[in-house]
Structure 1
Amino acid sequence: MHFPWTTAEVTDLPTVGTAVDAVTDLSRSEEPPGARLRIARRQAAAFRGEFASTGTPDSVVTCDLVTLPYPTRFGLFRASKALAPFLSITNRMQVIRWTESGGRKRVLLFEPSDHELGRYTPYFDTLAQRTPGFLERQFVTEHGTVLGHLARLGIEPAEVDYLLFDHLHTQDLWRWVGTTAFQDDLGQTPEAAFPHAKVIVQRDELAALADLHPLQKPWYQPGAYADVPAEAFLPVNGSVVLGPGVAVLRTPGHVFGNQSLVVNTDTGIWVSSENVIATEALVPEHSRLPGLARWARAWQQEVVLNANTIETTADQYNSIVLEKALADRSQADPRFLQFFPSSELTGAWTNPGTRPTFAHDAIRHGTQPA
């Protein structure tokens, strides 16, 4: 199998969007981490007004994909006092549609995870091998598939322009963008399910896939990018506006090339990523999860990280504060923010002490399907 690019070749791929000057890549700043945190707050305030003036997309629809177990010590860092070693997270896809100034319609899928192939991520594959089938069925619930949800929404795969992930942990794109060679495990040379779609990714993450660090290896499937055509990707350097009320912000830390989706809706600005797994992790003082509020007070932490990988922890903390400063207050409960975790903490009887205080479950904007 052939890895489709080298680190140097990543710089030669085409890109997309309009650069956001108000938000810079603070992970490359010469300022110390504390100063970067103050700068992140200022940049968020500057970008809020600029972003709101771009308008709103035509619609945002949420689609549940899969609920699966995740170690409590990762999802809630060191803060949780829950007895359960695992909690549950629900991975959801956002379908975002907008109209460009020239009248062209665009469709973006945020977090369109192929969870059937995603289970072969080294960490989850090892966990599955150690878990009896009857027990796994208690923890894993499949709600729907990417293609099934699109059919329900009346969207043809050929209409999809962009695929976007906050980062490429667990992702296998073979069936979405196709490959250039026969794949033994699939028994075929898969054709692209989305023949016109491009994957928007930070150049840093695309380059990292070609030469993974040991801290990264349990969470990536580098073999799943072998034989993927390089032209399937649209790398970006930093933060860009894609369309009216739709932007991608570089938010490094959870992975070097992490990015967040930002959308402007009828209820204000939403931010989405997997930097945290619950909106209350941005305001732990309002959390009823065992241990969170006390831990945050004791350690003077204003956020609780999702920390399965700690590539650059201070950068991740600063990125979360940037997200926190951008998101508007929830209309359902103003104590919490319109931060929508791409994998959201979900209560389950199997995981005592991990039921969220508040959950969004969905972003709703524009015309919704019947």
Structure 2
Amino acid sequence: MRLAWQDTDVLDMPAPGTPVPTFDGLDEVPGGYGAKLEWARSRAEAFRMEFVSTGTPDTVTTHDLVTLPYPTKFGLFRASRAVAPFLSITNRMLVIRWTESDGRRRVLLFEPSDVPLGRNTPYFAALARRTPAPLRSLMVTEHGTVQGHLARLGIAPEDVDYLMFDHLHTQDLRRWIGTTAAQPDLAGTGPDGDGKSGGDGGDGPLDPVFPNARVVVQRRELLAMSRLHPLQRPWYQPESYRDVRPEAFLAVDGARLLGPGVAVVATPGHVYGNQTLVLNTSTGVWTSSENAIAAECLTPEHSRLPGLARWSRAWGQEVVLNANTIETTAEQYNSLVLEKTLADRSQADPRFLQFFPSSELTASWANPGTAPTFTHKAITHR
């Protein structure tokens, strides 16, 4: 599969923000993953002290997109004793706004999933084919759309500067960033069901919904997508990246400070190029990714989910991973501990951390034994 950026040099792609060298040198740490774990923990403590001095963004708001089923054995890897084969997760978009030192306003959308196109992800498409339509309608709830939420906030599409995902599983970005060739499968469709997609996609290139937005992504994920491993293939849609505009991508190596109180940190494991959004807000530091699906997965000793606390004690493991690909499980564990070290305690319940899963475990009557002990549901900072 030839991807759009293979005609350019991924190594020369521009990068946003200011480099953060705090986490440089992980690959040179002597010893195995245990040594790297302690290094990650100490580096996270150092970064946190520096990060809180950078200020805070102007606003952070959270917006529900979709609640959908997800295998329990993936979301609560090895720890859950629930009888339900599936649990529910709610995918949410974060809208972060800040002001640069020169007065320029910035808007970053974190996890702005194009939900209708996400259904084409091989794993979820296969699951839908096996599930009767009436049952599917009970299992999936769409709460709102990216453009609908932005309209309610008074944000025009051309005002969006950055799009960012913790990783590109399930994501099809063609409508958001536009294409260089016709997209017949998108002709006459729009992300809000309005029949409009910024150029109809059938006869010519697709115009971007967000014409000024750049996608912040780890360079190593772009490189990995050109040759997917069999473990990765069920979760990506590489064919949707053949004709996207390569200039719409900003490549990151490791950690970057994007704005006051806004940073991205590489957290490999869930996927090779996973990354975490780090925010400094009025309630302290938050981290957000899909390395785990619930705040209690970072402090499982306080979880009432069947099996989690017992599993954590029995195996001496301090976090519970979201592991659908298990690309590099030890790296993911270390990354989640890094996120755990960065995050402040929740003001609502200090047993849990201000870790905000980009797809958060959600109670459902259909999935006994999977109701979370604690949920954030939203981040609000103004």
Scaled to the shorter chain, the TM-score interval is: over 0.9
1:213 paired residue number? 229
Kept in 1, the 8 Å contact 2:2–2:226? The answer is no
Structure 1 residue corresponding to 2:219, chosen from 203, 207, 211: 203
Partner of 1:178: 178
Tell me whether 1:250 sits opposite 2:250 in the alignment: no
The answer for unaligned runs of 5 or more in structure 2 is 188-200
Within-5 A mapping of 1:217-366: 217-366=233-382
The aligned counterpart of 1:37 is: 37
- Counterpart residue number, 2:144: 144
Letter in 2 for 1:294: R
**8 Å CA contact 2:261, 2:280 repeated in 1:** yes
For residue 330 of structure 2, give the secondary structure of its aligned residue in structure 1.
Answer: helix
Letter in 2 for 1:191: D
Q: Deviations over 1:53-81 (max 9, x none)?
A: 00000000000000000000000001000
Q: Deviations over 1:115-150 (max 9, x none)?
A: 110010000000001111000011100000000000
Match of 2:86 in 1: 86
User: Cα distance, 1:190 vs. partner?
Assistant: 2.1
1:273 counterpart letter in structure 2: S
Amino acid corresponding to residue 88 of structure 1 in structure 2:
S
The alignment status of 1:50 with 2:66, answered yes or no, reads no
- For 2:242 and 2:10, the matched residues in 1 are separated by 15
State the alpha-carbon separation in 1 of the partners of residues 92 and 253 from structure 2.
26
Say whether the 8 Å CA contact 1:25–1:250 is kept in structure 2.
Answer: no
Per the alignment, residue 67 of structure 1 pairs with: 67
Kept in 2, the 8 Å contact 1:162–1:198? The answer is yes
For the Cα contact (< 8 Å) 1:66–1:115, is it kept in 2?
yes
Counterparts of 1:193 and 1:142 in 2: how far apart (Å)?
A: 20
Paired with 1:167 and 1:300, the residues of 2 have a C-alpha distance of 28
Q: Which amino acid aligns with 1:161?
A: D
Map Cα deviations across residues 281-335 of structure 1 (whole Å, 9 max, x no partner): 0000000000000011111110000000111111000000000000000000000
User: What letter matches 1:114 in structure 2?
Assistant: D
Q: Which residue of 2 aligns with 1:105?
A: 105
- TM-score relative to the length of structure 2: 0.94
SS of 1:93's equivalent in the other structure is strand
| 1:4-15 to 2 correspondences below 5 Å | 4-6=4-6, 9-15=9-15
Question: For residue 219 of structure 2, what is the amino acid of its counterpart?
Answer: R
The structural deviation recorded for 1:3 is: 2.2
Conserved in 1, the CA contact under 8 Å of 2:268 and 2:275?
yes
2:195 alignment counterpart = none
In 2, Cα distance between equivalents of 1:328 and 1:2: 42
- After TM superposition, the structure 1 = structure 2 runs for residues 113-192 of structure 1, keeping only pairs within 5 Å, are 113-187=113-187, 188=201, 189-192=205-208
Secondary structure class of the residue paired with 1:212: coil
Task: Verify the 8 A CA contact 1:7 1:210 in the aligned structure 2.
Answer: no
State the 1:10 CA deviation: 0.7
8 Å contact from structure 1 (residues 86, 351) kept in 2 = yes
Structure 2 counterpart of 1:216, which letter? Answer: Q
Structure 1 window deviating more from structure 2 (70-79 vs 180-189): it is 180-189
Partners of 1:27 and 1:252 within 8 A in 2:
no
| Counterparts in 2 of 1:25 and 1:125: CA distance versus 1, 3 Å | farther
Task: Give me the whole-angstrom Cα distance separating, in 2, the residues matched to 1:25 and 1:142.
Answer: 42
Tell me, yes or no, if the aligned pair for 1:27 and 1:315 is still in contact at 8 Å: no
Q: Distance in 1 between matches of 2:206 and 2:127?
A: 27
Regions of 4+ moved over 3 Å: 27-31
Q: Which amino acid aligns with 2:278?
A: V
CA–CA distance in structure 2, aligned partners of residues 216 and 149 of structure 1: 31
Distance 1:227 1:365 in 2: 37
Secondary structure at the residue paired with 1:365? coil
Q: Which amino acid is 2:270 matched to?
A: H
CA distance in 2, matches of 1:127, 1:114: 19
How many angstroms does 1:226 deviate by? 1.0
Give, as a single letter, the amino acid of the residue that structure 2 aligns with 1:164.
M
For 1:323 and 1:27, the matched residues in 2 are separated by 18
What do you get for the CA RMSD once the two structures are aligned? Answer: 1.2
